[in-house]
Chains A and B, each alone.
Chain A
Amino acid sequence: MNTVDQFQTPITPTWCPGCGNFGIWGALKGALSSLQIASHNVALVYGVGCHGNMRDWMHVYGVEGLHGRALPLAQGMKLVNSKLTVIAITGDGDCLGEGGNHFIHAARRNTNITVIVHNNQVYGLTTGQASPTAQKGLETKSTPTGVVDEPTNPVTLALSVGGTFAARGFAGDIAYLTELMKCAINHTGFSVVDVLQPCVTFNKAYSYEWYQKHIYKMEGDGSKTRAEALVKSLEWGEKIPLGVFYEEKRGKEIIGAEKSQKTFDYTTLLPQFR
Chain B
Amino acid sequence: MKNDVTWKIGGSAGFGIMSSGIMLSKAYSRAGYFVSAQNEYPSLIRGGHNVITVRIAVNEFYSLTKHVDILVALNKETVELHKNELTDGSIVLFDPKDFEWKASDFTSKVILLPLSFSAIASSFGGDLIVKNTIALGATVALLGKDMTMLEGVIRDQFQKKGEAVIEENIKLAKAGYDGIKNGERVPDACVLEESKRKDPYVVMNVSESVGFGALSGGMTFAAIYPMTPINALITFFTDNAKDSGITYIQPEDEIAGINMAIGASLSGAPSMVATSGGGFALMVEGVSLAGILEVPLVIDLGMRPGPATGMPTSTEQGELQFVIHAGHGEFPRIVLAPGDATEAFRLTQQAFILAERYQTTVFILTDKYLNEGLWSVPESVFLEKLTRAGQNIVSIGPSFKRYDLTGENGVSPRSIPGTVGGEYIANSYEHDEVGYTTEESAKRKAMVDKRAKKMTAIVESAPLPSVYGDADSDVTFVSFGSTKGPILEAIKTLKEKNISSKLIHFSWVYPLPEEKVKDMLSREKRLISVEGNSTGQLASLLKEVSGVEIKEKLLKYDGRQVYPEEIVDFVTK
Query: Contact residues of A with B, CB < 8 Å?
Result: 9, 11, 38-41, 43, 45, 48, 53, 55-56, 59-66, 69, 71-81, 83-84, 101-102, 104-105, 255, 259-262, 264, 266-270, 273-274
Q: Across the interface, which residues of B come within 8 angstroms of A41, CB to CB?
A: 417-418
- Known A-B contacts A40-B420, A269-B212; the reply to A80 vs B221 at CB < 8 A is yes
A81 touching B417 by the CB < 8 A rule?
yes
Q: Across the interface, which residues of A come within 8 angstroms of B30, CB to CB?
A: 274
B423 on the A face (CB < 8 A)? yes
CA distance A262 to B220 in the complex (A): 10
B487–chain A nearest beta-carbon distance, Å: 26
B418 touching A79 by the CB < 8 A rule?
no
**Extra 19 A-B pairs, beta carbons < 8 Å, given A38-B420, A43-B417, A269-B240:** A11-B436, A40-B417, A41-B418, A45-B263, A61-B266, A61-B424, A62-B425, A72-B263, A73-B260, A73-B263, A76-B264, A77-B417, A80-B220, A81-B268, A84-B418, A104-B252, A105-B251, A266-B215, A273-B203
- Known A-B contacts A76-B221, A274-B29; the reply to A65 vs B418 at CB < 8 A is no
B247 touching A105 by the CB < 8 A rule?
no
B240 touching A79 by the CB < 8 A rule?
no
B221 touching A79 by the CB < 8 A rule?
yes
A69 touching B255 by the CB < 8 A rule?
yes
B418 touching A55 by the CB < 8 A rule?
no
Q: Across the interface, which residues of B come within 8 angstroms of A38, CB to CB?
A: 420
Interface hits, B257-273 → A, CB 8 Å: 257, 259-269, 271
CA distance A81 to B268 in the complex (A): 9
A62 touching B427 by the CB < 8 A rule?
yes
B77 on the A face (CB < 8 A)? no
- Chain B CB within 10 Å, residue with most, of A38, A45, A55, A59: A55
- Known A-B contacts A56-B436, A264-B215, A274-B26; the reply to A105 vs B424 at CB < 8 A is no
CA distance A267 to B269 in the complex (A): 21
Q: Across the interface, which residues of A come within 8 angstroms of B339, CB to CB?
A: none
Q: Across the interface, which residues of A come within 8 angstroms of B208, CB to CB?
A: 273
Q: Across the interface, which residues of A come within 8 angstroms of B261, CB to CB?
A: 76
CA distance A63 to B428 in the complex (A): 8
- Known A-B contacts A55-B437, A76-B223, A267-B383; the reply to A66 vs B215 at CB < 8 A is no
A50–chain B nearest beta-carbon distance, Å: 13
In-complex Cβ contact of B245 among A45, A73, A260 (8 A): A260
B264 touching A72 by the CB < 8 A rule?
no
B428 touching A65 by the CB < 8 A rule?
yes
Q: Across the interface, which residues of A come within 8 angstroms of B425, CB to CB?
A: 55-56, 62-64
Interface hits, B399-449 → A, CB 8 Å: 416-429, 435-437
In-complex Cβ contact of A273 among B202, B247, B265 (8 A): B202
CA distance A11 to B253 in the complex (A): 36
A63 touching B418 by the CB < 8 A rule?
no
A182–chain B nearest beta-carbon distance, Å: 21
Cβ proximity bits B450-467 to A, threshold 8 Å, 1 near / 0 not: 000000000000000000
Q: Across the interface, which residues of B come within 8 angstroms of A255, CB to CB?
A: 249
B565 on the A face (CB < 8 A)? no
Q: Across the interface, which residues of A come within 8 angstroms of B264, CB to CB?
A: 76-77, 79-80
B412–chain A nearest beta-carbon distance, Å: 16
Q: Across the interface, which residues of B come within 8 angstroms of A62, CB to CB?
A: 423-427, 435
- Chain B CB within 10 Å, residue with most, of A60, A255, A274: A274
B243 on the A face (CB < 8 A)? yes
B417 touching A261 by the CB < 8 A rule?
no
- Chain A CB within 10 Å, residue with most, of B26, B245, B426: B426
A241–chain B nearest beta-carbon distance, Å: 30
CA distance A109 to B203 in the complex (A): 36
Query: Contact residues of B with A, CB < 8 Å?
Result: 26, 29-30, 200-204, 208, 212, 215-216, 220-221, 223, 240, 243-245, 247, 249, 251-253, 255-257, 259-269, 271, 285-286, 289, 293, 379, 382-383, 416-429, 435-437
A80–chain B nearest beta-carbon distance, Å: 4
Q: Across the interface, which residues of B come within 8 angstroms of A75, CB to CB?
A: 249, 260, 263
B259 touching A61 by the CB < 8 A rule?
no
Q: Across the interface, which residues of A come within 8 angstroms of B427, CB to CB?
A: 55, 62-64
CA distance A274 to B379 in the complex (A): 9
Residue of A nearest to B216 (CB): A266
A49–chain B nearest beta-carbon distance, Å: 12
A189–chain B nearest beta-carbon distance, Å: 16
A to B CB contacts below 8 Å, 19 in the list? A9-B436, A38-B420, A45-B263, A55-B427, A55-B437, A62-B423, A63-B263, A71-B256, A72-B256, A72-B257, A75-B260, A76-B259, A76-B262, A76-B271, A77-B417, A80-B221, A102-B252, A104-B252, A273-B203
CA distance A61 to B421 in the complex (A): 10
CA distance A253 to B334 in the complex (A): 38
A261–chain B nearest beta-carbon distance, Å: 5
B265–chain A nearest beta-carbon distance, Å: 8
- Chain B CB within 10 Å, residue with most, of A45, A60, A71, A79: A79
CA distance A41 to B422 in the complex (A): 10
Q: Across the interface, which residues of B come within 8 angstroms of A63, CB to CB?
A: 263, 266, 293, 425-427
Q: Across the interface, which residues of A come within 8 angstroms of B418, CB to CB?
A: 40-41, 81, 83-84
CA distance A272 to B215 in the complex (A): 16
Q: Across the interface, which residues of B come within 8 angstroms of A72, CB to CB?
A: 251, 255-257, 259-260, 263
A67–chain B nearest beta-carbon distance, Å: 9
Residue of B nearest to A70 (CB): B259
Residue of A nearest to B293 (CB): A63
A77 touching B240 by the CB < 8 A rule?
no
Q: Across the interface, which residues of B come within 8 angstroms of A56, CB to CB?
A: 425, 436-437
B423 touching A101 by the CB < 8 A rule?
no
Q: Across the interface, which residues of A come within 8 angstroms of B265, CB to CB?
A: 76
A61 touching B253 by the CB < 8 A rule?
no
B274–chain A nearest beta-carbon distance, Å: 15
A107–chain B nearest beta-carbon distance, Å: 11
Q: Across the interface, which residues of A come within 8 angstroms of B200, CB to CB?
A: 274
Q: Across the interface, which residues of B come within 8 angstroms of A101, CB to CB?
A: 252-253, 256
B252 touching A80 by the CB < 8 A rule?
no
Residue of B nearest to A274 (CB): B202
A5–chain B nearest beta-carbon distance, Å: 14
Q: Across the interface, which residues of B come within 8 angstroms of A269, CB to CB?
A: 212, 240
Q: Across the interface, which residues of A come within 8 angstroms of B216, CB to CB?
A: 266
A66 touching B419 by the CB < 8 A rule?
no
A105 touching B289 by the CB < 8 A rule?
no
B427–chain A nearest beta-carbon distance, Å: 5
Residue of A nearest to B249 (CB): A79
5 nearest interchain CB pairs?
A76-B263, A76-B260, A72-B259, A105-B252, A273-B202
